[in-house]
Structure 1
Amino acid sequence: MTPSPPSRPDTATAPAGGPVVASPCPSPSGGLRGWLAVVAVGMGVFAFTTTEMVPIGLLPAMSRDLGVSEGTVGLSVTLYGAIAGLFAPVLTVATRRLDRRLLLLVVLSVFVAGNAFTALSSSYAVLMVSRLLTGFAHGVMWSIAASIAIRLVPPGQAVRATAVVFSGISIASVVGVPFGTLIGQSDWRTAFWAISGIGVVILAAVAFLLPSLEPRAVVRLSELPKLLRHGNLRIATLVTAAMVIGHFAAYTYVAPFLEQDAGIPSGWVSGLLLLYGVAGVVGNFAGGAAAVRALRTTTLTCILLLATAVVLLVVNGSRHPGTIVLLLVWGIAYTALPVCLQTLVFASAPQAPEAATSLYICAFNISIALGALAGGWAVDASGPSSVMFLGAGFSVLAAVLMTRYRVGGSE
């Protein structure tokens, strides 16, 4: 895939001369079948996101069954994300010569097997092996999902296809993780059997719907650092890192903030976070629609909205209506950003979109861990409100970096 280089980052459609992130070659599929294939890829993202996060709601049950502490079981989430991020560039390059349809089928097959092994785990060691196996596949999935999707639709609909793929993240938060937690309450293994079964369905859909997609823009491992010489890609990666650190520094500790500083009753918190997830689905598609018309402006606006919302949550105090509105604004702003940032990455390195995406995914996942770590230090030192200011500070840094994104090309 070789997207046309952007001539004006504030647009994202070919007729307007903006950053075309799809292949200039004719779509190998297109029409209803092409969009169904995009949905199938998005469901793959949904499944991977669900399996990454569902242990959070099952920690007590998994801890009792496997005879280890909840914190130890929690490493199955932390290390999963670390593996996905750190090995995404290496594995994406290692599989660079494989047909993308075949690679996606292999990744989904590993996903199905990994979750089945998790469900069958007889010990903590087996659990971690199965989780890390799935984590390797996760990194590849994130690196290739959007680049596959935009090859299945006409160039002018590339950003919309990216939004459909990333909607899988929001839907996992709203539906996948709560549902997995619910069905896993009596037996946590049931949740992973169900996720593995969903993976089988997605695997079948991909096998039926996706055409053969030859690899393009082959990049060697030694060439990955050279990609960061492209100024816009370097800026997009730094913006991603700052934005994700800021968000997760604050969001990881949003529950104690809501209860202790905003005066929200503990029984309301889960419902508010569900509303946050619903707002995220809206933000994902709204952000994609806005990015088609004004990519750089939309990205900058979402960053500043997030920074404003988290600061005003502190200023708002214990006024519940204001807290609810600001939490929804936060959800809309943040979940619009993955679509915008992924599109920026494509536009910044059109000659090697998958390799560039693997660097983006690496930065994204490492920044999740860094954000949670920084937020933990802030909470321990100064209380829950401090993480909101920390999140806003990193968001402002991301906004400043975003202003340096160069108009007119990928260099």
Structure 2
Amino acid sequence: MTPSPPSRPDTATPPAAVPDGADHPPASPSRPGALRSWLAVVAVGMGVFAFTTTEMVPIGLLPSMSRDLGVSEGTVGLSVTLYGAIAGLFAPVLTVATRRLDRRLLLLLVLGIFVAGNVFTALSSSYTVLMASRLLTGFAHGVMWSIAASIAIRLVPSGQAVRATAVVFSGISIASVVGVPFGAFIGQSDWRTAFWAISAIGVLILAAVAFLLPSLEPRAVARLSELPKLLRDGNLRIATLVTAAMVIGHFAAYTYVAPFLEQDAGIPSEWVSALLLLYGVAGVIGNFAGGAAAARALRTTTLACILLLATAVVLLVVNGRWQPGTIILLLVWGIAYTALPVCLQTLVFASAPQAPEAATSLYICAFNVSIALGALAGGWVVDASGPSAVMFLGAGFSVFAALLMTRYRVTRPE
């Protein structure tokens, strides 16, 4: 079915699709200066960095956490799986439930819960306490992702909205490169040390937000009953489906990239962690490059990144054991994938400018649930057919996402 036209015309410059009245405060003498505004955006991005780090850091600490708490590594791993599921499933509900709170106050509340959750994790005396503290932090995580980008774009002029979104989402890439490996490193002797360090970082971010952010009254208030109505908009429906297909495909493949590199690409096991670090560095580049390109041609950039990712993943298999080719294609994959959250978030804003946070909560729900679905689907395929087969599965979902993206309607050529 042909999607209905967007609520507001999309243009070649996505920030224009975000109306000033909905997302940007009017110019006034009390509006913070440019430097203070961008420092506030960076503080929000650091919040995303901290949440992403705490979500994923148990992966590098599973053996020590397992021994200390007296449960299996797989059982401890549920602290990552259920964290993501809670964050995704409850993001729409909690975002709507807090719709009348000043966004500065809400962000401070979310960061306060983040600090408390990590302190409780560090103090966990049993697996039950660990899971309770992780689930508490997971609830806050969903709200953080729903409001972070919309807060950031209200702090800067409308023409710089995509750049602000890129800064916020750079927190994800930086967490992959720095946060998660650093957390695993400092937690080698005692896994609790990592969570104490994350708690301390959370306190610093909370202080920065309290100092830098102005009061931000809630706008575009939505009710829970209105969330399904948002998906009647063809473009928002397409953006959500593209997100789901892309994330399922990426995580189906990326979750099992280490065994693929070792078994099928012939990469020595001692090289794998270094290559994944390079993948993360490439991701930081892709995050900002994708944001710059999306500001000029949103639909085209999104489609190009999806197809580039699919091509890189397929060529990794075709490339065989030629190591230089494997390294180059892995970096291309990193650049293409990490450009996509900025593009997809901007698509959501452009598709539902009348309710940006509510629409983002649906996007976050699709994103986080699809992570679990992708890892699950990849596990079935890798067990049945091996690591190369799961790469084709990831590419297949990416191609499907590209086909969906062609249905996204713009009102004039880019």
Give the shorter-chain TM-score range: over 0.9
**Cα distance in 2 for residues equivalent to 1:199 and 1:317:** 44
1:29 Cα shift? 3.1
Residues 6 and 20 in structure 1, CA contact (< 8 A), matched pair in contact too: no
> Are 1:325 and 2:328 counterparts?
yes
Kept in 2, the 8 Å contact 1:120–1:189? The answer is yes
Instruction: Supply the distance in 2 between the matched residues of 1:371 and 1:251 (Cα, whole angstroms).
Output: 9
Choose which of 366, 370, 379 in structure 2 pairs with 1:367. Answer: 370
1:241 alignment counterpart: 244
Which residues of 2 match residues 12-411 of structure 1 at below 5 A? 12-14=14-16, 23=23, 25-26=25-26, 28-408=31-411
The letter for the 1-side match of 2:14 is A
Shift of 1:23: 2.6
- Could you tell me how far 1:70 is from its partner in structure 2? 0.1
**TM-score, normalisation: structure 1:** 0.96
Deviation at 1:408, TM superposition (A): 2.5
CA contact (8 A) 1:116 1:192 kept: yes
**Within the alignment, does 1:7 sit opposite 2:46 as a pair?**
no
> Residues 11 and 19 of structure 1 are in contact (CA less than 8 Å); yes or no, is this contact kept in structure 2?
no
Offset of residue 346 of structure 1: 0.3
1:303, 1:228 → 2: CA distance? 22
Gaps of 5+ in 1: none
d(CA) in 2 for partners of 1:179, 1:372: 24
Shift of 1:10: 3.1
Q: Distance in 2 between matches of 1:384 and 1:149?
A: 39
Q: Deviations over 1:346-369 (max 9, x none)?
A: 000000000000000000000000
Residue 30 of structure 1 deviates from its aligned partner by 4.6
Aligned equivalents of 2:141, 2:247: Cα separation in 1:
18
Measured in 2, the distance between the counterparts of 1:24 and 1:49 equals 26
TM-score normalised over the length of structure 2: 0.95
AA aligned to 2:216 is L
Shift of residue 8, structure 1, vs aligned partner: 3.8
Preserved contact between residue 88 and residue 143 of structure 1 (Cα < 8 Å):
yes
CA shift for structure 1 position 20: 5.8
Deviation at 1:309, TM superposition (A): 0.2
Q: Is the 8 A contact 1:248 1:372 kept in 2?
A: yes
Distance 1:81 1:13 in 2: 29
CA positional deviation for 1:13: 4.6
State the Cα deviation string for residues 64-108 of structure 1 (Å, max 9, x = none): 000000000000000000000000000000000000000000000
Greater Cα offset, 241-250 or 21-30: 21-30
How many pairs align? 403
One-letter identity of the residue aligned with 2:266: G
Aligned-residue offset at 1:26: 2.3
Matches of 1:73 and 1:154, distance apart in 2: 44
- Give the Å deviation of 1:57: 0.0
What secondary structure, in the 3-state scheme, does the structure 2 residue paired with 1:369 have?
helix
The superposition leaves residues 34-58 of structure 1 with CA deviations (integer Å, 9 ceiling, x where unpaired) of 0000000000000000000000000
Structure-1 separation of matches of 2:369 and 2:400: 18
RMSD over aligned CA atoms reads 1.4
Letter in 1 for 2:98: T
Counterpart residue identity of residue 12, structure 1: P
**SS of equivalent residue, structure 1 residue 26:** coil
* Alpha-carbon distance in structure 2 between the residues aligned to 1:103 and 1:204: 14
CA contact (8 A) 1:76 1:131 kept: yes
Check conservation: 1:20, 1:156, Cα contact below 8 A: no
Cα distance change on mapping 1:114 and 1:152 into 2, 3 Å: same
**Distance (Å, rounded) in 1 between the aligned partners of 2:25 and 2:188:** 49
Q: Is the 8 A contact 2:96 2:224 kept in 1?
A: yes
**SS of residue matched to 2:154:** coil
- Structure 2 residues not aligned, in runs of 5+: 1-5
3-state SS, counterpart of residue 321 of structure 2? coil
Amino acid at match of 1:328: L
What secondary structure is seen at the aligned counterpart in 1 of 2:150?
Answer: helix
Runs (4+) of structure 1 moved beyond 4 Å?
Answer: 18-22
Residues 6 and 325 of structure 1: is their aligned pair in 2 closer, same or farther, counting only changes over 3 Å? farther
Whether the 8 Å contact between 1:84 and 1:139 is mirrored in structure 2 is yes
Structure 1 position 310, deviation (Å): 0.2
**Displacement of 1:25:** 4.1
Deviation at 1:6, TM superposition (A): 5.0
Alpha-carbon separation, structure 1, partners of 2:15 and 2:34: 18
Deviations 1:172-221 (A, max 9, x none): 00000000000000000000000000000000000000000000011010
